[in-house]
Chain A
Amino acid sequence: MRRDSGGRIDRSRVLRFTFDGRELTGHPGDTLASALLACGVRIVGGSVDLGRPRGVFTAGAEEPNALVRVGDEPMVPATTVELRDGLEAWSLRGRGRLGPALPPGGARPVPGAPSGAAGRPGTDRSPGAAGRPGAGAPPGEPRHDKAYLHCDVLVVGGGPAGLAAALAAGEVGARVVLLDDQPEPGGDLLSSRVLLDGGPAPDWVSSVAARLAALPEVRVLSRTTAIGYHDHNYVVAVERRGGCRLWHFRAGRVVLATGAHERSVAFPGNDRPGVMLASAARTYANRYGVLPGRRAVVFTCTDSGHEAARDLAAAGVEIVEIVDPRRDGSLVVGTLADREGALAGAVIGGAAGERAAACDLLAVSGGWNPAVQLFSQSQGRLRFDETLQAFVPHLSAQAERSAGACRGVYGTAAAVADGFAAGSQAAELAGVREREVFRVPECDEPAQSPPAALWTVPARRPSPDRPAGAAGTAPAAPDPSDSTAEAAHGPGAGGDAEAFVDLQRDVTVADLGRAAGAGLRSVEHVKRYTTAGTGAEQGKTSGATAVGVVAALLGVEPGQVGTTTFRPPYTPVAFGVLAGRDRGALSDPIRVTAMHDLHVARGAVFEDVGQWKRPRYFPLDGESMAEAVERERRAARTGVAAIDASTLGKIEVVGRDAGEFLDRMYPNTLSTLPVGSCRYSVMCGADGMVLDDGVITRLAEDRYLVTTTTGNAAAVLDRLEEWRQTEWPDLDVSFTSVTDHWAVVAVVGPRARPVAEALVTDVDFADFPFMTCRESRFGRVFRISFSGELAYEINVPRWFGAALWEAALERGAVPYGTETMHVLRAEKGFAIVGQETDGTVTPQDLGMSWIVSARKPDFVGRRSHSRPDTARPGRKRLVGLVPDDPREVLTEGAQLVASPGGRRMLGHVTSAYPGVALAMIRDVRAGDRLFAFDARRGCEVPVTVTDPVFHDPQNARRDGDPPDVRLEPVRGYGARSALAGFGGRFAAAGSCGAMIREVPLVPMREARGEAPVEERGRKGLRLGPDWWLVVGGRLVAGGPPGVDVSGQRAVVRLSGPRAGDVLMTGCRIDLHPAVFTVGAHTRTLLARVPVVLHRIEPDAYLILVCSSLAGYLAEWLLDALEGL
């Protein structure tokens, strides 16, 4: 019941809430647990295995009993739920079940089902569950996000030690973050009646909080629970703020001031509602103004239990008896229960025998466990302290120090002093060196004496006059009305079988005894055998007790048993919180070409290729994919068609030694390639296997353009960089990605030339041989073909890509997608890396022995081609397959055998389209009959082996039809910036302290070398040791050396007082103005995409992002603004 006064609650306001449908009230400042206790709700749920009634046991995140469902949160401790008006909470019964959120104790009504049919099996239903309205409809999901922050000193825990540590570090100027999981800092001081400097402890807390608030470099985060302590002082925490924010801190030093958890004693019946940790009872009385009972027995092994008894008495609780084994050896050896199973009395055993004491509160203090979870996660080593009877931090593994109760320093003044020392030391070690005067407040707390070493009480022999199974019934019940209705839970229960170690998992001393009896010695094994410590509270209230009991069973010291491993998270975290904003359209970065919006408007069906969205086919009204692909294919084979080929990787390789470098990396000779010519090549790993392929064009004596497959562009670029930097740093060569700079339209088909001529008016198509390249004022044209037909790949800077695409289609080119592209290339026998190859295929296996130069002494992978395994006969080779039925589409991956029912697998189908397939097979020749086993249909399909080139083996179609028409030439292409479609949304979003706008069409150039690059007064941004990016200015043809990358990146300007708050949610670097100063720039990740981040004003940044990712980043930024 509620006290008339006292506590940190606001009695002037009433909050209405429901529990299992019952309408109840509380006040601001309450937790759900304190409000339930105030309303006299003693039973909050049933235990998971035994279904025993349970009540509130603690006052914090370690709560093992009072787990409830609140809204969409399926299982939260009532002790951590801040009460709010309209809150609906439901008790949990049984083990629950996987599936959509159900109202605990009942079920979502199933339309048409008989009433009760949807009840949860194996669960008992509380009386309150009947007639409950159809709860459980998921409300609008809360918005979660993430944030990244660096600091000098991170203090975890806002109790006396943590506050002092934060103050010590903050007042000397360190960047400090203080995390505290409560709504207000203070920790145990909020529950305490000690006087600090003669005043109430909360006043001291307020004064320290005010001093912290005045420090600009100190950030205090309340309602924030540190859940993980990872490598290199990386601490992850959850802040509850409407939705949740998942904080990622990188700290110079960490001060852990996580306090201690009180533990119980394993005596029979120690789980009844009404049995509560003594410190929790004190917290409810002092902090929440709630009496957790009227008549209390206090069973304590510690001095803090006596303090709790004093505070309970002062609050008006009648203290029936204080049982302290340190005084006279007396113990609580059992409990009495009322009809509902809640506590009605305690059985006290001592030298004089057993007696019962009626009570409705049994406050237990078995000792204290320093909260070493985070310390342990940081790989710090623990030791067992015999005096404290607790595991305490021993050896730190990281730049960390524990302070106060979490390292066994108990007592308010000692904790403050220890915290202050830890904070000062942390600031000093983090490089901040000033000294502030700080005085530890005088405290009226008495000195503490050590706790009793008591984990469990000796098992009692059932007396003959008591029925078995009624353990806990008083030998002489003092008050029959209270105790006659002992509820016996489970047959034969009693003694150790009712002495609970882990309340959440219903693990008893008897269970641990069975584990030890079964021969288990390791505490990790005992944990897994009994499930002790595996509940949501992860052993916070039970772990040390389990160790103590196991140690006693094994006859060793607890320190020899050790603890189980503490793993993140410290408290349970919802998956939605871990996902943050990375959901839906933002779940993974999306890359699109300059023509993407046009493809969407045309109704393209897309497929994902890496992060790219590529049109797979362009269906006309009502067309199936097969029909669309056949139409697109026919256009390419008989007329003219066009594909957006912008996604292919493009790397400019520049330098005096570019040819030499490529000769070392590729199997054929590229240094002899004439300027303006193209050559197909494959790239091999050192193991000789094909990694990638593409066309290499010599643009100038010292300049090549290498293309890669769409999916391997980054890997190939990285690989070139690796070999240059680590093997051949003396070679003068550099690599620039121009994938996003160029938009590419391949115009394909026998009638391609008139279209290409109209699109690129300054190139002489009459003199344009196969495998050559032409420069144009619009860009470049490559005469290469991936279909066997006449084809021109027209490259223009990305700004003009959309206009080029439209112009091509206006001139009759039929748009086609990747599916048709695959059919066309398969008919021509062109392998696709990653489809025909799987990392075990050499160029020779693909029938490309011709590509391997015999004249070159070496290239990467050559030596592997003469290894016994790669040189042996009988390797799988690329062949064609023709099914007997020309409409048949073989199954990709199907195994090939020589006869029906054959067991010897000769190879497998790698690509399959109607009537044709490619396969990798050994020991076959053209004309052989084979069978493709189709596991989906369970049948074998007869096929004939052929040459892989199905279409035009003589390459007669390569030059197309003679041009017979002249199409209207294009005069020029209009530019469109990467974010042209976002202007309106950017403008509309700019009212929340941050503004986004695109800086469109900024010319850019990349240059190499160590000397600073400056162009017309514009200083280049140095992105790496010899890597420069010049942004802006006007590019002139034949200008300074370097590579034009104007289309490669889009520029976004983010500005406003809250710009930093936006970046913080997706950027991991330290953005503090003293670190990332005005003018600073760097490459890093923002929203998981690489960007160049450039701070141009204190509150303004330029973000340079790959053009293909610009739309994704814009969506991400707009979403971030929405959350401000």
Chain B
Amino acid sequence: MQLIECPWCGPRDEIEFRYGGQAGIAYPKDPAALSDEEWAGYVFMRDNPRGWFHERWFHVHGCRTWFSVRRHTVTHEIGRDPGSPRREEFG
């Protein structure tokens, strides 16, 4: 049971949260302008590192805030993420 720091509620048990996958994957500005490969990259492809991972969580049973954290996928260490929960522009 990981302890996740919600930016609004403070540290809470993992069970109160929903996992939101990789952070920093923004919805493309003009999806119609993307090639099929580029669009498939946005829809389907995500990183899966062994180590630090920038990921989103949703405090579904608390304040209902989406936020992102840096979490180590091996040690489960969680670092504060200075970035905003808002997704960044998809590259």
A positions within 8 Å CB-CB of B? 230-234, 248, 250, 379, 397, 686-687, 714, 718, 721-723, 725-727, 729, 857-858, 860, 862-864, 867-868, 1023-1025, 1027, 1068-1069, 1082-1085, 1090
Contact = CB atoms under 8 A, between A and B. Distances in A.
A802 B75 CA distance: 52
B66 interface: yes
B64 A721 contact: yes
A232 B43 CA distance: 33
B66 A863 contact: no
A1023 B1 CA distance: 24
Given A231-B76, A729-B86, A867 B62 contact: no
B66 A1083 contact: no
B12 A1084 contact: yes
Nearest to B20: A722
B8 A1024 contact: yes
A1024 B64 contact: yes
A397 B75 contact: yes
24 contacts: A231-B1, A231-B2, A686-B27, A686-B42, A687-B44, A714-B60, A722-B58, A722-B66, A723-B27, A727-B86, A729-B86, A860-B27, A863-B39, A1023-B63, A1024-B63, A1025-B8, A1025-B63, A1027-B63, A1068-B13, A1083-B61, A1083-B62, A1083-B63, A1084-B62, A1085-B15
Contact of B16 (A726, A864, A867, A1085): A1085
B43 A1082 contact: no
A1090 B62 CA distance: 8
A726 B86 contact: yes
B65 A725 contact: yes
Contact of B43 (A250, A721, A858, A864): A864
Contacts of A1083: 9, 61-64
A595 to B, nearest CB: 27
B70 interface: no
Tell me if A's interface is mostly helix, strand, loop or mixed. mixed
B45 interface: no
Interface in B55-86: 56, 58, 60-66, 75-76, 78, 85-86
A292 B2 CA distance: 46
A379 B75 CA distance: 8
A863 B56 contact: no
Given A250-B3, A1024-B62, A1024-B64, 12 more contacts: A230-B1, A231-B1, A231-B2, A232-B3, A686-B43, A714-B60, A721-B66, A727-B26, A1024-B65, A1068-B15, A1084-B61, A1085-B61
A480 B76 CA distance: 64
Interface string B33-65: 010100110111000000000001010111111
Interface of B: 1-3, 8-9, 12-13, 15-16, 18, 20, 26-28, 30-32, 34, 36, 39-40, 42-44, 56, 58, 60-66, 75-76, 78, 85-87
A233 B62 CA distance: 22
Contacts of B1: 230-232, 234, 248
A867 B40 contact: yes
B64 A727 contact: no
B65 to A, nearest CB: 6
A858 B75 CA distance: 41
B8 A232 contact: no
A862 B32 CA distance: 9
Contact of A726 (B31, B56, B61, B78): B56
Contact of A868 (B3, B18, B36, B44): B36
A230 B75 CA distance: 11
Contact of A232 (B9, B16, B26, B76): B76
Given A725-B85, A857-B32, A1090 B61 contact: yes
A686 B26 CA distance: 12
Contacts of A1027: 63-64
Contacts of B9: 1082-1083
B87 A726 contact: yes
A538 to B, nearest CB: 22
Nearest to B7: A1025
A925 to B, nearest CB: 30
B31 A867 contact: no
Contacts of B31: 858, 862-863
A857 B87 CA distance: 21
Contacts of A687: 43-44
Contacts of A862: 31-32
A863 B41 CA distance: 12
B63 A725 contact: no
B66 A726 contact: yes
Q: Which of B9, B32, B64 has the most CB of A within 10 A?
A: B64
Contacts of B34: 863
The 3 closest A-B pairs by CB, nearest first: A1024-B63, A863-B31, A232-B3
